[in-house]
Amino acid sequence: MTRRLLDLLDTKEMVVVCGSGGTGKTTVAAALGVQAATRLGGRVLVLTVDPARRLADALGLAGALGNTPVRVDVPGAELWMAMLDTKAGWDELIRRHAPDPALRERVLANPLYRNITGRFVNSHDYIAMEQLHELHASGQYDLVIIDTPPSRNALDLLDAPGRMREFFGSALLKWLTVPYRSRLFNVATKPFNQIADRILGSRFLQDIAEFFVLFRTMEAGFVQRATEVERLLVDDRTTFVVVSTLDPAPAREARFLAEELRRRSMPLGAMVLNRTLPAEVRRPVAARAAVALRALDPGVVGEVAATAAVRPAAAAHVIDEVARRFGEVQSVATREAERRRELEVLAPLVAEAPLLAGDVHDLAGLRALGRRLTGGREAGGSR
Ligand SMILES: Nc1ncnc2c1ncn2[C@@H]1O[C@H](COP(=O)(O)OP(=O)(O)OP(=O)(O)O)[C@@H](O)[C@H]1O
Ligand SMILES: [Mg+2]
């Protein structure tokens, strides 16, 4: 497409790349990072979530420690990448909000802590947004691009900070903690506690209660932070990029996501249509060529067979099969075009990249994808 996607990256400080599972969020986030760093300059950070092993290796991320950014070797550019580590993200939050070192250690050492935080609804989503806040606030980067976790529901991501805030201010948390204290002195519930202790292990209920009691001491900090993280999502300096393929399910989800972003006043900057069929497939001349191939003169088929040194029947079979399959590809392309029209109206900017040959697993692949998305050439481009 045009330079416009690059202009969007140029005018924003935080980019949230979201969309349904497997559409190419991680790859697109990394490709946009490479484009921004090489063509716009400045310090660019991409926070990825669970990148494919080969890509992580190629970028030198494999040995990277959690949320600590590592510099990626891109000549003439300052590109940094980090991999989201939810567990480390939680530990950082506890360190930040614990009122004193002793309490901090007690939370971190609580056997239920890891188990429970990992199970909080949207735990990964929240930590991703929290890290975005953290990295942006550090002031070390001109642009932070964040890839988002594969969610079951696209809204989980948008709702994560609000849910975290609600949880800490909720009656549920109060209920989980206060009754325990009274339970300790309550004759009526003592036998229950004893039985539970016998069945679940002697410290189980105590661990749960202690965990939530400790958590409540951090309520104010967590609520304030979640509110800040929530504000970030409607900030002028933030933009959302929704990635989708033109398959029915992801396209439906992209549409839903775009509508929800609008409803929440979260700025949708661009829609990226990834792994699409090339436009040439839909051209009438291509259809005519396919029809002509199926009606080839046997003499011509014979010549092809002779050139390829195969039997004429084999050549005829392959030509017919390829031409027939091309018809199928064309009908998929036609359906893709309909979905493209439906999605185009939802975003101020649409960028598209075709299905590239092979996975995108190295810097050259990211450059090729990024160029398709932003148009033009970046310095040092080699593909
Ligand atoms: N335009 C493209 N052409 C070819 N392969 C692509 C393209 N875009 C992405 N891929 C490949 O598709 C696979 C899935 O991409 P990716 O991991 O970026 O998706 P994702 O949306 O981050 O998935 P998840 O929701 O699981 O996090 C990867 O193997 C990647 O190399
Ligand atoms: Mg991913």
What pLDDT score was predicted for residue 381? Answer: 35
Cα(47) to ligand 2 centroid in Å equals: 11
Three-state DSSP class for residue 59: coil
What pLDDT score was predicted for residue 157? Answer: 86
- The stretch 31-60 carries a mean pLDDT of 92
pLDDT band, very low/low/confident/very high, at 154 (cuts 50, 70, 90) = confident
Q: Report the alpha-carbon distance of residue 29 to residue 366 in Å, rounded.
A: 10
Position in ligand 1 atom list of the atom nearest CA 369: 1
What pLDDT score was predicted for residue 138? Answer: 94
pLDDT band, very low/low/confident/very high, at 121 (cuts 50, 70, 90) = low
Note whether 82 and 47 are within 8 A (CB).
Answer: yes
What is the share, in percent, of the chain residues with pLDDT greater than 90? 55
pTM for this model (two decimals):
0.87
Mutation probe of ligand 1 site: the residue of 257, 360, 374 with most atoms within 8 A of C-beta: 360
- Give yes or no for residue 37 having a pLDDT over 90: yes
- Give yes or no for residue 245 having a pLDDT over 90: yes
What pLDDT score was predicted for residue 190? Answer: 65
Q: CA 176: distance to chain centroid? A: 33
Q: Is the CB of 221 under 6 A from ligand 1?
A: no
Q: Whose CA is nearest to atom 5 of ligand 1?
A: 359
What pLDDT score was predicted for residue 1? Answer: 41
Q: Note the pLDDT tens digit of each residue in 303-326.
A: 999 999 999 999 999 999 999 999
Give the ligand whose atoms come closest to the C-alpha of residue 52.
Answer: 1
Note whether 143 and 44 are within 8 A (CB).
Answer: yes
What are the domain boundaries of the chain? 4-277+355-374, 281-335
Name which of 18, 86, 30, 28 is nearest 56 in CA terms: 30
What pLDDT score was predicted for residue 116? Answer: 74
Q: Is the CB of 26 under 6 A from ligand 1?
A: yes
Q: Whose CA is nearest to atom 8 of ligand 1?
A: 24
Q: Is the CB of 27 under 6 A from ligand 1?
A: yes
Q: Report the alpha-carbon distance of residue 51 to residue 46 in Å, rounded.
A: 11
Q: Is the CB of 359 under 6 A from ligand 1?
A: yes
Q: Is the CB of 369 under 6 A from ligand 1?
A: yes
Note whether 75 and 82 are within 8 A (CB).
Answer: no
Note whether 215 and 223 are within 8 A (CB).
Answer: no
Q: Note the pLDDT tens digit of each residue in 272-301.
A: 999 999 888 888 899 899 889 988 899 999
- Give yes or no for residue 379 having a pLDDT over 50: no
CATH number of 4-277+355-374: 3.40.50.300
- Give yes or no for residue 171 having a pLDDT over 70: yes
pLDDT greater at residue 13 or residue 154: 13
Q: Whose CA is nearest to atom 15 of ligand 1?
A: 24
- Give yes or no for residue 186 having a pLDDT over 80: no
Which of 203-217, 241-255, 294-308, 334-348 shows the lowest per-residue confidence on average (mean pLDDT)? 203-217
Cα(24) to ligand 1 centroid in Å equals: 4
What pLDDT score was predicted for residue 216? Answer: 82
What is the DSSP secondary structure assignment for residue 279, as one 8-state letter? G
Which of 69-83, 184-198, 221-235 shows the lowest per-residue confidence on average (mean pLDDT)? 184-198
Q: Is the CB of 25 under 6 A from ligand 1?
A: yes
Give, in order, the Cα–Cα distances in Å from 319 to each of 295, 302, 333: 10, 12, 21
Mutation probe of ligand 1 site: the residue of 83, 246, 359 with most atoms within 8 A of C-beta: 359
pLDDT band, very low/low/confident/very high, at 271 (cuts 50, 70, 90) = very high
What pLDDT score was predicted for residue 174? Answer: 72
* DSSP secondary structure, 85-135, as one string: -HHHHHHHHHHHH-SSHHHHHHHHH-HHHHHHHHHSTTHHHHHHHHHHHHH
Position in ligand 1 atom list of the atom nearest CA 361: 31
Give, in order, the Cα–Cα distances in Å from 163 to each of 156, 166, 372: 9, 5, 37
With left for phi above 0 and alpha for psi between -120 and 50, is residue 14 left, alpha or beta? beta
Position in ligand 1 atom list of the atom nearest CA 22: 23
Most confident of the ranges 10-19, 108-117, 207-216, 351-360: 10-19
The chain-wide mean pLDDT, for the chain, equals 86
pLDDT greater at residue 90 or residue 209: 90
Note whether 270 and 347 are within 8 A (CB).
Answer: yes
Cα(174) to ligand 1 centroid in Å equals: 43
Q: Is the CB of 300 under 6 A from ligand 1?
A: no
Position in ligand 1 atom list of the atom nearest CA 21: 25
